[in-house]
Amino acid sequence: MSRWTSGADRWRRRTARVGLVGAALAGLVAGLVVGGPPAGASAEASAAAGGRKTITGEIDGAEYRVELPARWNGTLVLYSHGYFLAEWVPEGVQVANRVETEQWLIEHGYAVAASKFKNDGVGYGVQDGVTDQVALLDWFEEHVGEPRRTVSSGMSQGGLIAALLAERNPKRFDGVAAMCAEYDTHATWNSGLDITFVVKTLLAPGEDIELVRAGEDAAASRDALAAAIDRALETPEGRARLALAGAVANIPGWYAAHEPKPKTTDELVAAQSLWTKWAYSYGIGPVGRTELEARAGGNPSWNTGIDYGRLLARSSQRDLVRDAYAAAPGGNLDADLKRLAKAPRIRPDAKAVAYQYRHGIVRGTTPAPVVTLHSTGDGGAVTDQERWYADQIRRHGNSSSLRQLWVDRGGHCSFSSADELVMLRTLLDRIDDGQWPSTAPTRLNASVSAMGPAYQKVLDLGTGADLPLEPAYTNFTPPRMLRPSR
């Protein structure tokens, strides 16, 4: 059984572990406060009247939660969550990546808030996320008080939302903290199509698999892709083709947050294939695409005109592919690339492409300072997203307003609370002082260590284990994105 299996059960265990569980209050109308200050009251007045407050409710069908400290320092951290599958929706509303982060912020005088977004936050809710977070900020300013400074924070897909909020509301946010983010989600879905296209063409030829517009066949297509991946792992030739599938999207061979990076070719391919199976066949494969297509009004992804040989030549994983084919007695890379070249292509729907360009891509303006945090082995939101984002900021914003931080681990969003808080404090220092503090890895790791053992745990999304790890900030140069949207 894979490290990512038993998804629903593990996700529920994770929500209990990192503090996502909360009581959903049905039937609340927009603006209703439970246990919070009256309309128009300031946070300072609320604290004087009764100390720390928890405020919950709904705005336009989107559940929200606000946590107010006993003595508010005037800073609000508005958090945007990542992509939820319908089977893996946490209860309650998450206001930070980890519960320890939430607790530390509140204990140190910060207010934290988040909307879960409409539709229980399921799927490609970028448009909803931007709208619902602004509505919550409006509510906060009216019913609690206007923050002295507001930070837009988010993880994964929520990192995109966090950046979009500041770009589109430049006078309302003082900084952005984006973790394991995807800033060009259109590129993510196109690369995801490339991965499953290679799997279907080379590992499941002739099978009834619909990669896009799958409709009622989505679950069967998803399961057929996963089964093809499992079969392929059993032979050298299959593993070589899996390496090719991952390489066309720059997917690294490092899956586990708690283990060192694999070293042998077979180990690297096996780890890479876990991303291929769970992130790209299950996560944003045929079932995930069905949800996106319903929002976008059609299929936004395509591979017309794509030369997979050229993608491979530019891939950060091309050496792994060559090593895997060299180890496969019956493997023939040239022949497989020719099969891909001859396979029928997939065309997009223009309306859906336009939807993605409106809602799924940052411009790269920097009306406020931005700090990003990414793990070097992330194959769910690949590291080339950070390089692309920095390029966009050089074109459209101010590069001096950006700092990009790296943690040397496998896994998606594999950060400790200390990692997250050190990133946030780096941003807050920049907001307060007008210049960045040192972001040398030695300094950052010393700051992580100083937080103490209670803040050192890192969740492995594959196993569900939550274990303490050594500080791992590092220097890193990500590869170039293979299929950027611009």
| Pair of tokens at residue 92 | 């309650």
What is the pLDDT confidence band of residue 484, given thresholds at 50, 70 and 90?
A: very high
Q: What is the pLDDT of residues 379-430, one digit of tens each?
A: 999 999 999 999 999 999 999 999 999 999 999 999 999 999 999 999 999 9
**d(Cα 16, Cα 55) in Å, to the nearest integer?**
20
For the chain, give the percent of residues with pLDDT over 70.
90
What pLDDT was estimated at residue 27? 25
CB 249 within 8 A of CB 482: yes
C-alpha span between 96 and 113 (Å, rounded): 9
Is 54 in a helix, a strand, or coil? strand
pLDDT tens track for 47-76: 434 489 999 999 999 999 999 999 999 999
**pLDDT of 137 higher than 80:** yes
Residue 483's nearest CA partner among 70, 168, 259, 197 is 197
- 235 contacts 242 by C-beta, under 8 angstroms: no
The residues pairing with 377 across neighbouring beta strands, listed in sequence order, are 410
- CA-nearest of 212, 203, 170, 235 to 367 is 170
In three-state secondary structure terms, 460 is coil
- The token pair at 220 is 């069967």
State the maximum Cα–Cα separation within the chain, in Å, rounded to a whole number. Answer: 75
Residue 20 has pLDDT above 50, yes or no: no
Q: What is the mean pLDDT of the chain?
A: 90
Among candidate residues 305, 320, 318, the one with its CA nearest the CA of residue 270: 320
Question: How far apart, in whole angstroms, are the C-alpha atoms of residue 159 and residue 63?
Answer: 19
Give percent of the chain with pLDDT exceeding 90: 88
The answer to which of 21-35, 204-218, 227-241 has the lowest mean pLDDT is 21-35
Residue 265: Cβ-neighbour burial (10 angstroms; 0-12, 13-18, 19+): buried
8 A C-beta contact, residue 410 and residue 254: yes
How far CA 275 is from CA of 16, 269, 409, in Å, comes to 24, 10, 15
Cα–Cα dist 455/447, whole Å: 11
Q: Which of 257, 248, 261, 255 minimizes the C-alpha distance to 275?
A: 255
Closest to 268 in 3D by CA, of 285, 292, 252? 252
At residue 86, the pLDDT reads 87
- What's the mean pLDDT in 250-258? 98
Taking residues 233-242, report their average pLDDT. 98
pLDDT at residue 117 above 60?
Answer: yes
The pTM for the full model equals 0.89
pLDDT at 18 (0 to 100): 33
> What's the pLDDT tens digit per position in 90-102?
999 999 999 999 9
Determine the pLDDT at residue 103: 97
Range in 1-10, 285-294, 359-368, 427-436 with the lowest mean pLDDT: 1-10
Res. 38: pLDDT tops 80: no
CA distance 239 to 51: 58
CA-based torsion, 449, 18, 414, 392: positive or negative:
negative
Q: How would you class 266 by CB atoms within 10 Å of its CB: exposed for 0-12, middle for 13-18, buried for 19 or more? A: middle
Q: What are the structure tokens assigned to 3, written together?
A: 């490290």
Helix (H, G, I), strand (E, B) or coil at 234: coil
| Sign of CA pseudo-dihedral 239, 186, 81, 469 | positive
Listed residue (232, 217, 315) closest to 274, CA to CA: 232
pLDDT at 51: 80
Q: Distance between CA atoms of 244 and 318, rounded to whole angstroms?
A: 8
DSSP 343-355: SPP-PPPHHHHHH
What is the mean predicted confidence (pLDDT) over 479-486?
A: 97
